[in-house]
Structure 1
């Protein structure tokens, strides 16, 4: 199948082009303008189409019919010609080797970056937890696809919380080693004196407490991928031993002398600046170049803020499956979260979603519900205007508590009697409240609290301090009265 199509009526020019392209290893097809459209339709896509521009109208007609195909025009320089977007460049006679290779590279970039090829719908579904549509995350996916088919060592760089292990797991999942184990090791979490045994294993009796032989992480990862997280925290003496394994593909258990072959793909990650560490002498330069065969930069969340709505959806779905609860975000809340700088990256966002799930289960979260440091926009400051009778009922409920359990489902009627009748015992014991509001106002909450304390003390005095009987005359459960006494610090012997 031809990779380059040359459309020209100039036979000499066309054959010269074909000679140069053949030297580059490209397969070419020469056609006149009369066969141009049929040739372009016969093949899904050419790597490049070089088309003669001697007749601009005819050239434009062909180019306009195939917007996904990159074209390079050739002929005398036409500064006044308004070329279409898929014309990536222009060649002039005489065509030189550097000029031609530059145009071919432009065609290659056009094919790689055009919208139809960026989606990779059939491939994107394979990625696990690499959520987003930003250019930064798209580039990470592209690099993973490129390197996953090889066994080259990969170094994942990026700030803490950006998902470096997620990248490593996707590398393993898309590689030929996907049926093998994926073994992660945090080099910064294991004490230096135990790291060698952890990586390479040990023989029985190698040190005090080694009562049995034990496989190391290299041995456990055989045929798969070993992920060395926080490689920048690895002690220098271990860096030397790791370098030997990478060079010779052999290692020995601690206390053993039998070489063990190593068939493991190494993916390392760090948030540290390894090149600065090399200058300081805390990281070996030769190990750095062994690990840094194929670097992948894990982008910070502040550099791909357009992915935050998709990340929120993914995080909510994940927590939803675990907790059987969900939350939703208003547009203002999402816009506010996009404004945050996210020093903790995706890990910080995940923690925030989990916190909000606990605070507002099955609710809609607005800006005002977010912690103060995430509030960058004004929310909907809606203040409900409750009916007066509801406010009065709620105030009385706060004052006297609920009725007995058997009456919880019934309406509770509270009668405030302002008339004193000495002939009526019930009326004599009724609560008398001064309904006149002071001219300078009052704190209703404090007033109700003082009234509640007074009524509780009176009830306890009447019943000789017996809480159960005091609760009965106050029309509440004993446990409710005990809680109120604890709240107000009321103590009776």
Structure 2
């Protein structure tokens, strides 16, 4: 039975003029949903068709379930269930099937290259090359030779001909990151390449046709650059056929626990030992604004795993800026507690209990640093040690 037939989402009924169990089993093994022995009656055929329809329906429902399970945490390698990310997934599923240029916008660290890779992976030619170019990290002459290629003798050191990435990608994808860093000369050459669907290598008088899909990304405001005359308007419109704006991590905080779990699982696969994260550390990470976005979050998780003395990441294991946030939140809470006016309540908590809880919270947040805890609480270290002695505990954890 041809694989081209089996690859289609259809139900197959096999028929043969012999009544053989081995033939029937072979047909089912090759992908048939049912088997009929010739000659057969109309009722037998109707029953077989009914069974095939039921099998097709169940198979379709199973595919839908697998798709939903795959989308629980994200799309491809993209992680997130927030409304912003679900909207992005819906757009990506449509954009990926076309061959139009896509401009990916977003702050540094939001995952623009990952989005470009996802578009390529779900596109019509996922088996073809995906070739990224960081336009901001290369000098203009290197960007030109990387993209367009060169011929032998085009410049000093050009000892042989070399195809540029736009040709080498074939019908794959070329991803131009930080497109806003291109000089006006290179912008003009790229525009001509996109319009004519051909490229002229450096030093050559002949053009080579290209088939590659072009995806671009930037964290700069290209529209403002067009107004200032630092980015070509015609190239901007050529690249901006479809644009995707990635949300910063601070606007999708509900995805932070999923991302942390993803990074911890990846670390576990690469190294022995499994790590978890304490609730206080997780709460601090959700509160933080993450100016470096997902890239900064990934670095913070790796920092926490490196500094953790056990299998659980504490607040004290996080980078300095996160520890400072945790201390600031605690100090604000303590100050608010001191300044809060008394209000009627059903249950009055003794002051000694509140004092004890505040002391143990401060010690836990400072990762056992009693001097720092005393400073935050506004008491002397002698007073802190006396209070701990009264509680009959070392201050490492709140007593039951």
TM-score with structure 2 setting the length: 0.64
Matches within 5 A, 1:269-348: 269-348=217-296
Contact 2:307 2:317 in 1 (8 A): no
Select which of 128, 132, 148 maps to 2:96: 148
For residues 200 and 149 of structure 2, the distance between their equivalents in structure 1, rounded to whole angstroms, comes to 8
Contact 1:325 1:357 in 2 (8 A): no
Equivalenced residues, count: 269
Select which of 363, 372, 375 maps to 1:381: 363
Contact 1:326 1:362 in 2 (8 A): no
For residues 183 and 264 of structure 2, the distance between their equivalents in structure 1, rounded to whole angstroms, comes to 39
Equivalent residue, structure 2, for 1:105: none
Equivalent residue, structure 2, for 1:231: 179
Residues 181, 162 of structure 1: alpha-carbon distance in 2 compared, 3 angstrom cutoff: same
Residues 236, 257 of structure 1: alpha-carbon distance in 2 compared, 3 angstrom cutoff: same
For residues 67 and 104 of structure 2, the distance between their equivalents in structure 1, rounded to whole angstroms, comes to 23
For residues 105 and 261 of structure 2, the distance between their equivalents in structure 1, rounded to whole angstroms, comes to 26
Note if 1:248 corresponds to 2:181. no
Using the TM superposition, give the Cα deviation of residue 255 of structure 1 relative to its aligned residue in structure 2, in angstroms: 1.2
Q: SS at the partner of 1:381?
A: helix
Equivalent residue, structure 1, for 2:71: 124
For residues 236 and 273 of structure 2, the distance between their equivalents in structure 1, rounded to whole angstroms, comes to 46
For residues 310 and 121 of structure 1, the distance between their equivalents in structure 2, rounded to whole angstroms, comes to 16
Q: Deviations over 1:240-266 (max 9, x none)?
A: 000001111011111112211110111
For residues 198 and 231 of structure 1, the distance between their equivalents in structure 2, rounded to whole angstroms, comes to 14
Equivalent residue, structure 2, for 1:195: 143
Q: Deviations over 1:107-153 (max 9, x none)?
A: xxxxxxxxxx9995166378332111101111111111011111011
Equivalent residue, structure 2, for 1:349: 297
Q: Name the larger-Rg structure.
A: 1
For residues 118 and 277 of structure 1, the distance between their equivalents in structure 2, rounded to whole angstroms, comes to 46
Using the TM superposition, give the Cα deviation of residue 193 of structure 1 relative to its aligned residue in structure 2, in angstroms: 1.8
Select which of 118, 131, 156 maps to 1:208: 156
Equivalent residue, structure 1, for 2:318: 370
For residues 361 and 368 of structure 1, the distance between their equivalents in structure 2, rounded to whole angstroms, comes to 10
Q: SS at the partner of 1:309?
A: helix
Q: SS at the partner of 2:163?
A: coil
Contact 2:102 2:215 in 1 (8 A): yes
Using the TM superposition, give the Cα deviation of residue 326 of structure 1 relative to its aligned residue in structure 2, in angstroms: 3.5
Q: CA RMSD in A?
A: 2.3
For residues 169 and 141 of structure 2, the distance between their equivalents in structure 1, rounded to whole angstroms, comes to 21
Using the TM superposition, give the Cα deviation of residue 219 of structure 1 relative to its aligned residue in structure 2, in angstroms: 1.4
Residues 123, 289 of structure 1: alpha-carbon distance in 2 compared, 3 angstrom cutoff: farther
Contact 1:326 1:361 in 2 (8 A): no
Q: Deviations over 1:216-247 (max 9, x none)?
A: 11112111011000000011100000000111
For residues 252 and 361 of structure 1, the distance between their equivalents in structure 2, rounded to whole angstroms, comes to 58
Q: Deviations over 1:158-217 (max 9, x none)?
A: 000000000000000000011111000001111012211110111111111100111211
**Gapped regions of structure 1 (runs ≥ 5):** 1-116, 385-439, 441-493
Residues 381, 298 of structure 1: alpha-carbon distance in 2 compared, 3 angstrom cutoff: same
Higher helix share: 2
**Gapped regions of structure 2 (runs ≥ 5):** 1-63, 331-360, 369-381, 383-400
TM-score with structure 1 setting the length: 0.52
